[in-house]
Structure 1
């Protein structure tokens, strides 16, 4: 009798699992924003958009700790690594506490600056900031060790808890206050800490680590912090400036435009999570790193083209399906905002790629053009259309400069 070998079922790798998980997380976060936009309407949604933008700003600041932890979890020896992670947790908590205190102390000034209905939402948000820094260092450990299953769990729990708690409070108690949204965000940080690799948190020195390694960590941390600052400026300054310069209705319309147009950036984010440890590992093994860069640029470029095309051909349908008729007047700007975001997402891949290789010129380039974008919006904001046009101009110049640097650097090597 001839035995026929059984076909083994296909099992997802950890990287593939993380990609699927990242899509689910982005979809969940997107759903969270869409439901808030529909339930609150443009004026109240403008307040929610400020809190969501603060959350994105916090995620970029804390990403400095996550990326540094991820990178050096790959390169450091097993003897030094536990103490390094301990230090990262300790300094993350310290920075988180100081940032949280400042947010709470200046809550009234933040309310006046962004014309929100409550200062309490900033106070509640400030309480949760230290938890977010702990969560980011924990994620950096999983990312560096390529434990993408554990990394996926932390993102899933944060997203699901924020979605469930916030919408549960709004629906059950019929409360649409921005304070409820802040409470949902705060509690989601606690869930995002699961699973947490708690071993030891201390400010002890790095012991057996060489001076050169300590300098490398310090340099990477400083330049990454600078780069994440540029991310904050490019990604979020437009929403905060529009909230400052325009009335609540227009600010709410712009927040919905930004949310739809940023789909491409949210998708690009999951590729960046895979890019850094992969490039570091390839470099460590002496292998070519450029092919992985081209691979991810191709993926993101295709996604950007599809989203821009859909936004150009079906803008009214997209906005009506996602937010409702109240937001339809923003439809003509949808494809333009998607174009600006797509250009930035591709330029961003170059910066993260070089950051992984300890080359920091593209990071400085991003900083320069981030400041240019903010300056253009500050000086040219007669209409929402003009705000979007200024961003397109800045992002076109940024992408051209990053591509030019890549070819010059490649030619030189």
Structure 2
């Protein structure tokens, strides 16, 4: 009995568990607030306006996918510098990245101003200024990504959690207020901008040591960073396109009302992702730390897979058993009940995606970039399948399940070939 108790204590004190706990608590509350806000939007916006918002948010998610890959690159090298007692390199990296992204953001605003009519036409959005506002939001989000990546490298999971929670409160307050005032989709986008600006300022506080640190000209390993950045960015962009491309293509092929219904389905289905996302997020810098120190790291992957798979399967099972109840809890309106039968299938898709997310994070943390091309091809296969076969929502979800299952099989075979101990 004492051995079991001792094992339990060691388990709950494990750095993956404690770090994930803080991120999970803060992230869960923030995601819950975001979920409440999205439900508020679904209930208070017209189906056509919610369809526009769902398409814009999917475009936002797609546009910020590179931010996730950039975050992985920053965490990979910032952790390497910080754990290697090279704080001057870490400080120099932070300052140069912040300046670079500010410049690139300004250029992106100009470019997207020119392209906004074409994007609006593809998504059937008549108000092109909505696209420009969205781009401004994306630019701010990239600057926030730099701050959060460095906090992640410093293992400041508690502060990340608090900033996300407070940001969620700000977003909820702004979103509800402005939509009730009649600003519709603009109010929803303003809520995101308010949250990002608030977090951007707040997260600078614990980074003041790096910001104020005076450093001489430090030679950064630019070639190594670039050689890592492109395939890592391709991998993460391709991976997260799995949960964005479907919504965008549905908006293109279906009516505004049907696109709004699919947006609601995607919203409820992604609960599985929100619930498990902290695990690979925390796992990444811990793997870098262990791998850099020559310590054992595979058990960390196995633990992460268990922590992600179990809740994903349980939530999916709940979706299959109580689809209409789930829809009634999260979404109002009889029309949304028409998508209840697809909820279990969508849960299977998100469960597979979550496992893929853990495996991809594992490979990227070890600088194993060969998997990038496999992820890209599987993402392209998903887009091709949906483009060719989109007769109904079930077909679209099955397209996503097929392509993500193919990726899972490839990632597992790759692990067996390159990491599994051979006799």
Q: TM-score, normalization: structure 1?
A: 0.90
Q: CA deviation at 1:380?
A: 0.8
Quote the Cα distance in structure 2 between the aligned partners of 1:57 and 1:368.
17
Question: Residue 143 of structure 2 is aligned with which of 114, 120, 134?
Answer: 134
Q: CA deviation at 1:207?
A: 2.5
1:79 counterpart SS class: helix
Further displaced range: 367-376 or 150-159: 150-159
Q: Does 1:70 align with 2:75?
A: yes
Q: CA deviation at 1:19?
A: 2.4
Q: Does 1:241 align with 2:249?
A: yes
Q: Which position in structure 1 is the counterpart of 2:225?
A: 217
Quote the Cα distance in structure 1 between the aligned partners of 2:134 and 2:163.
19
Tell whether the 8 Å contact from 2:19 to 2:282 is kept in structure 1 after alignment.
Answer: no
Question: Residue 372 of structure 1 is aligned with which of 381, 384, 406?
Answer: 381
Q: CA deviation at 1:41?
A: 4.2
Q: CA deviation at 1:146?
A: 0.5
1:184 counterpart SS class: helix
Q: Does 1:34 align with 2:39?
A: yes
* Unaligned 5+ runs, structure 1: 1-9
Q: Which position in structure 1 is the counterpart of 2:266?
A: 258
Q: Does 1:114 align with 2:119?
A: no
Q: Kindly tell me: are residues 34 and 141 of structure 1, through their superposed partners in 2, closer, same or farther at Cα, counting changes over 3 Å?
A: same
Quote the Cα distance in structure 2 between the aligned partners of 1:49 and 1:143.
29
Q: CA deviation at 1:254?
A: 0.5
Tell whether the 8 Å contact from 1:100 to 1:128 is kept in structure 2 after alignment.
Answer: no
Question: Residue 58 of structure 1 is aligned with which of 63, 87, 92?
Answer: 63
Tell whether the 8 Å contact from 2:78 to 2:153 is kept in structure 1 after alignment.
Answer: yes
User: Number of matched residues?
Assistant: 397
2:155 counterpart SS class: coil
Q: Which position in structure 2 is the counterpart of 1:207?
A: 218
Moved over 6 A (4+): none
RMSD of the TM alignment (CA)?
2.3
2:260 counterpart SS class: helix
2:166 counterpart SS class: helix
Q: Does 1:311 align with 2:310?
A: no
Q: Which position in structure 2 is the counterpart of 1:183?
A: 190
Quote the Cα distance in structure 2 between the aligned partners of 1:343 and 1:63.
19
Q: Which position in structure 2 is the counterpart of 1:285?
A: 293
Q: CA deviation at 1:205?
A: 10
Q: CA deviation at 1:100?
A: 2.8
Further displaced range: 86-95 or 320-329: 86-95
Tell whether the 8 Å contact from 2:25 to 2:161 is kept in structure 1 after alignment.
Answer: no
Quote the Cα distance in structure 1 between the aligned partners of 2:316 and 2:20.
27
Q: Kindly tell me: are residues 115 and 356 of structure 1, through their superposed partners in 2, closer, same or farther at Cα, counting changes over 3 Å?
A: same
Quote the Cα distance in structure 1 between the aligned partners of 2:26 and 2:410.
33
Tell whether the 8 Å contact from 2:65 to 2:241 is kept in structure 1 after alignment.
Answer: no
Q: Does 1:397 align with 2:401?
A: no
Higher relative contact order (CA 8 A, sep 6+): 2
Residues 308-337 of structure 1 deviation map (CA, whole Å, 9 limit, x = unaligned): 111111111111121122201111111001
Q: TM-score, normalization: structure 2?
A: 0.88
Question: Residue 158 of structure 1 is aligned with which of 138, 161, 167?
Answer: 167
Residues 262-303 of structure 1 deviation map (CA, whole Å, 9 limit, x = unaligned): 112222321121011000011122112111111111111111
2:296 counterpart SS class: coil
Quote the Cα distance in structure 2 between the aligned partners of 1:59 and 1:28.
21
Q: Kindly tell me: are residues 192 and 263 of structure 1, through their superposed partners in 2, closer, same or farther at Cα, counting changes over 3 Å?
A: same
Further displaced range: 328-337 or 261-270: 261-270
Q: Kindly tell me: are residues 281 and 45 of structure 1, through their superposed partners in 2, closer, same or farther at Cα, counting changes over 3 Å?
A: same
Quote the Cα distance in structure 2 between the aligned partners of 1:180 and 1:223.
37
Tell whether the 8 Å contact from 1:124 to 1:186 is kept in structure 2 after alignment.
Answer: no
Q: CA deviation at 1:65?
A: 2.8
1:116 counterpart SS class: coil
Quote the Cα distance in structure 2 between the aligned partners of 1:272 and 1:100.
32
Quote the Cα distance in structure 2 between the aligned partners of 1:356 and 1:182.
33
Q: Which position in structure 2 is the counterpart of 1:87?
A: 96
Q: CA deviation at 1:362?
A: 2.4
